[in-house]
Amino acid sequence: MAVADISHAPTGHIHPPPETFVQKYVFSFDHKVIAVQYFITTGLFFVLAGLLAELMRAQLAGPNNHVLSVTTYNQAYTVHGSAMVWLVIIPVLTGAFGNLVMPLQIGARDVAFPWLNMFSFWLLPPAGLFLFGSFLLGAPEAGWTEYPPISLQEPAGTSMWCVAIFLIGVSSTITGINFLVTIIKMRAPGMTWTRMPLFVWATAVTAFLSFIATANLSAALAALFIERVFNVPFYDPSRGGSPVVWQHVFWFYSHPAVYIMILPAFGIVSEIIPTFARRPIFGYKAIAYSSTAIGLMSFMVWAHHMFTSGLAQWVQLPFMALTMLIAVPTGIKVFSWVATLWAGKIRLASPLLFVLGFLSTFTFGGITGIFLASVPVDIHEHATYFVVAHLHYVLFGGSIFGIFAGLYFWWPKMTGRMLDEGLAKLHFWLMFVSFNATFLPMHWIGLLGMPRRVATYDPIYGDTNLFISISAFVLGASFIVFAYNALKSAKNGEVSGPNPWGARTLEWMIPSPPPYYNFDRIPIVLHGPYAYGEPLPYRDVAPEYLDATPLH
């Protein structure tokens, strides 16, 4: 057969790895090193933004506390929200997980544009410096949405905020283009679109959204910056501008951004469930195509954030209808994931636990999303703690649970070592219980009349808020367990081997951590990755790695 005498050919091209420290670890082109850089940087921002949240909860523990001044409190929630969205969730899901996993899963040796990949990462640290540094000049106070005109009246820190988010936007756009080209052009031979792992599907749709939508945010930010610094009135209504224009353009980005923040988590979930249920993902095509449908529909629903802004009634109607329709593809995914667990041989390892937590909390957050889609009900709920609760159920209960599921899942691949399973489970239960204890009561006080973005509030909500604050401190502490686990694993974690979970996608068909050039030979893909019980559908994978028997 012709296969034998050509299979050595691709190995001839591997370049030697870089030798200097700077080339290897600082300005590295290697997608895996860049992924780790993203993980460390976003992890640091996560700690900072999380501490801001704990400060906020300290202030809100009592109705008239003076832990923070009103101004500091306002700055805290603004920087917390901005950092969590732009410096943590978006870069960790695209930059970190996308970089770590996607090229490996498509059998590529790197992304299409490695220099841009490096550049994209190095926009992140200055963005963080600008955002957290804005406290020096008077940090922004109007929340992560920074609606004008009040954002025009704030001190200079808001201009720094503009610069920070603009940098993230550039980074996000570049990463989007880079990943799209990588996925379209660099899949291993035989990997047709419908043989791609579902995480790659999710990354492809996310990359498309980052690429198309982020430019709108950049435009809105540029206009805000120009208005603040050069006094050109785009948004100031007293000089012919319109504050509602900002809301339209901001949400035209920020609604797709909601899906930028959740689709990769969907992808992570779609990888973990079949691996630990030991059976094919239920409805592969339904999950893949519903991601695409969600991606496209996400561009047509932005004004549902603006139902109380004074839109005409007939404008609200299509936005309400389309928002409700997005529930259909999202429901298809949730039901398919649940059906995948049916009749499996389920291993309740830590990644799956976090996924079960994800499914439980995200479904709740999705349903409250429908409550917010109905215009008359939204009129009551908008800008209250109900929205705060909904947002955290999808972004924390969804994205952050998905991120930790992915971290526990791919940690052995990234580091070559296992995390302690007992500590992982402790982390999960602490996080899951305290998460619900923190955010579930917020729905209730929001419906009863507690507005968001207040430093002091009506004492009738005092007891509930005290309970929420205590839960939030436990929630914060749960991450210490993870940090300890990570350090312990780095010091003396059990060596994982190439495929500890017995997964079937390509990243597990190479050593852990992967060698510099990922694949000795580019594998040839014969089939989709989820046919558990069947032989692995890859050619040109070294026989010792062609094994999907779980060890853990």
Partner 1 sequence: MLARRENGGIHGRSGGTGRRTRLKIARGNPSCGFDSHLRQCDYFRTAFVAAAEDALARGYNFDKSSGFAESTNALNHDQDDYRLDGGFWRAVIVMGILSALGMWGVVVFPIERFLPEAAEPAADIDWLFRFMAFFSVPILVYVNGFLLYFAIRYRKRVSDSSDATGSPIHDHRALEAWWTAIPAVLMLVLGLLSYNVLPKYYGAQAATVTMEAIGHKWDFEFRYPGLKQSVFNDLYLPINVPVTMDITSTEANEADAVIHSFWVPEFRVKQDMVPGLVVPIHFTPDRLGTYRIICTEFCGVGHSDMWGKVHVVSQSDFDTWYAKQRTQAASGGPPIQLAHGDASAGQALFQQKCSVCHNAAPFDQKKVGPGLANLFDDPKHPNLVDGKKADSADVATILEHGYTGDMGTMPNMQANGISPADIANLIAYLQSLHK
CB of residue 457 to partner 1, shortest distance in Å:
7
Q: Is 11 in the site for partner 1 (CB under 8 A)?
A: no
Q: What residues from 70 to 99 belong to the interface with partner 1 (CB under 8 A)?
A: 70-71, 74
Among 7, 26, 136, 459, binds partner 1 (CB under 8 A): 7
What residues form DSSP beta bridges with 539? 524
45 versus 439: smaller Cβ distance to partner 1: 439
Q: Is 532 in the site for partner 1 (CB under 8 A)?
A: yes
Cα–Cα dist 461/64, whole Å: 11
Which residues does 118 contact at the CB level (< 8 Å), separation at least 6? 27, 28, 29, 34
Q: Counting contacts by CB under 8 A, is residue 513 touching partner 1?
A: no
For 467-498, give the DSSP string.
HHHHHHHHHHHHHHHHHHHHHHHHHHPPB--S
Segment lying near partner 1 (by CB under 8 A), choices 168-176, 187-195, 260-268, 404-412: 187-195
**Least distance (Å) from partner 1 to the CB of residue 9?**
6
194 near partner 1, judged by CB under 8 A: yes
In contact, 130 and 169? CB cutoff 8 Å: no
19 binds partner 1 (CB under 8 A): no
**Which string of b and e fits 239-274 if b means at least 16 CB within 10 Å?**
eebebbebbbbbbbbbbbbbbbbbbbbbbbbbbbbb
Q: Which amino acid is at 333?
A: K
Spatial distance between the Cα atoms of 134 and 164, rounded to a whole number of angstroms? 9
| 396 vs 532 by CB, closer to partner 1 | 532
Return the number of the residue (182 or 214) whose C-beta is nearest partner 1: 182
Bridge partner list, 495: 417
For the chain, the C-alpha Rg in angstroms (whole number) is: 23
Q: How far is the CB of 1 from partner 1 (least distance, A)?
A: 6
Residue 426 in the binding site for partner 1 (CB under 8 A): no
**502 touching partner 1, by CB under 8 A:** yes
From 14-22, 222-230, 481-489, 505-513, span contacting partner 1 (CB under 8 A)? 14-22
Query: How near is the Cβ of 486 to partner 1 at its closest, in Å?
Result: 26
What string of DSSP letters covers 181-237? Answer: HHHHH-PPTT--GGGS-HHHHHHHHHHHHHHHHHHHHHHHHHHHHHHHHH---SS-G
Residue 23 or 292 having the CB closest to partner 1: 23
- DSSP assignment, residue 283? T
Q: Which of residues 141-160 bind partner 1 (CB under 8 A)?
A: 141-143, 147, 149-150, 153
Binding to partner 1, residues 310-349 (CB under 8 A): 310, 312-313, 316-317, 320-321, 324-325, 327-328, 331-332, 334-336, 338-339, 341-348
Residues in region 228-287 near partner 1 by CB under 8 A: 236-239, 242-244, 277-284, 286
For partner 1, the closer CB: 189 or 480: 189
Taking the C-alpha atoms of residue 513 and residue 463, their distance in angstroms, rounded to an integer, is 49
| Residue 463: closest CA among 64, 61, 68 | 61
Nearer to partner 1, 377 or 426 (CB): 377
Candidate ranges 155-163, 391-399, 434-442, 454-462; the one touching partner 1 (CB under 8 A): 454-462
**Number of chain residues interacting with partner 1 (CB under 8 A):** 138
User: Cβ 193 to partner 1, closest distance in Å?
Assistant: 8
How distant is the alpha carbon of residue 170 from its chain centre? 17
Contact 507, 520 (CB under 8 A): no
